[in-house]
Amino acid sequence: MSSPTALCAGRVAVVTGAGRGLGRAHALALAAEGARVVVNDLGVGLDGSGGATAPAQQVVEEIRAAGGEAVAHCADIATAEGAASLVATALDAFGGLDTLVNNAGFLRDRMLVNLDEDDWDAVTRVHLRGHFLPLKHAAAHWRSEAKAGRVPEARVVNTSSGAGLLGSVGQVCYSAAKAGIVALTLVAAAELGRYGVQVNAIAPAARTRMTEETFAATMAAPAAGAFDAMAPENVSPLVAWLGSAASAGVSGRVFEAEAGRITVMEGWRPGPTADKGARWSPAEAGEAATALLARAEPPQPVYGAR
């Protein structure tokens, strides 16, 4: 299954939520580029319920059938024990860890006034804590390697979303968690660069279990032989490159990836400003803010807003 470029030859990659959809596509793409892959997946339903080992093991078998190397990991990476065992699995099975792709997640969509705190906690737990804990344990390993004089060429690819960048009606907890992942990415990139670790994020748009109903309602299925713009495999080449040594020097960035398009996302930057040099009165502050807004770029619309 090797690619002519073999960008990830000799590397060990971990992909969370890799039993289906984007995670599966990322695991296969990394393996095709020569990586040995730890395929993590709990095998839960779309809402996070249930669990099974079959999805992860099926991807492992796909990689092996194509001539690659892979092992399954089916623990909960949103727990300290599960995240620690994820890193330990890579070290035990393949003797190292070079690339971490954080991808696991599920949905419990509700309008804000209808959202239960248990649903909020469940979604932010798997998306945000499920990014933080694997990253923490992988970073601890890489820091130890760097302090021992073995500075790694480590790569982390986190998964945000357009919902995290712009917001999405009916997805307040998902949007908040995905926005948190962007901030996590920026801070981790700043803190871990000294240890040879690069951290980036993607905001993918593709047909997965979480999006299939949306795309089914808005897009027709591609004709036979035509380019499938919503295939998750369209996103994975960027992930494979970011996860390779070839991406040297790229860190703290967010990329939107959809169909055949890659966009470098540019986040909060200072816009129009006014400085009185003293304290504003409320009325003055309002006048100044109104004048500044007239000069500012209008915000991008929230997904689903009318």
* CA separation for the pair 168, 173 (Å, rounded): 10
The total of other beta-carbon atoms located within 10 Å of residue 14's CB is 29
| Crossing angle for the helix pair 21-32 and 54-65, to the nearest 10 degrees | 30
Helices (H) and strands (E) in the chain, counts: 10, 8
* Whether 40 contacts 18, CB under 8 Å: yes
Which of 85, 161, 175, 247 is labelled catalytic?
A: 161
Closest to 154 (Cα-Cα) out of 206, 110, 192, 210:
192
d(CA 203, CA 267): 13
- Which candidate in 85, 160, 168, 174 is catalytic? 174
Residue among 85, 160, 178, 247 flagged as catalytic:
178
Sheet with 154-159, side-by-side order of all strands: 70-73, 36-40, 12-15, 99-101, 154-159, 197-205, 254-258, 261-265
Structure tokens at 174: 């998902």
Q: 195 catalytic, yes or no? A: no
CB contact at 8 A, 95 and 9: no
Is 178 in the active site?
A: yes
User: How far is 134 from 102, CA to CA, in rounded Å?
Assistant: 8
Rg (CA), the chain: 21
Active site residues: 161, 174, 178
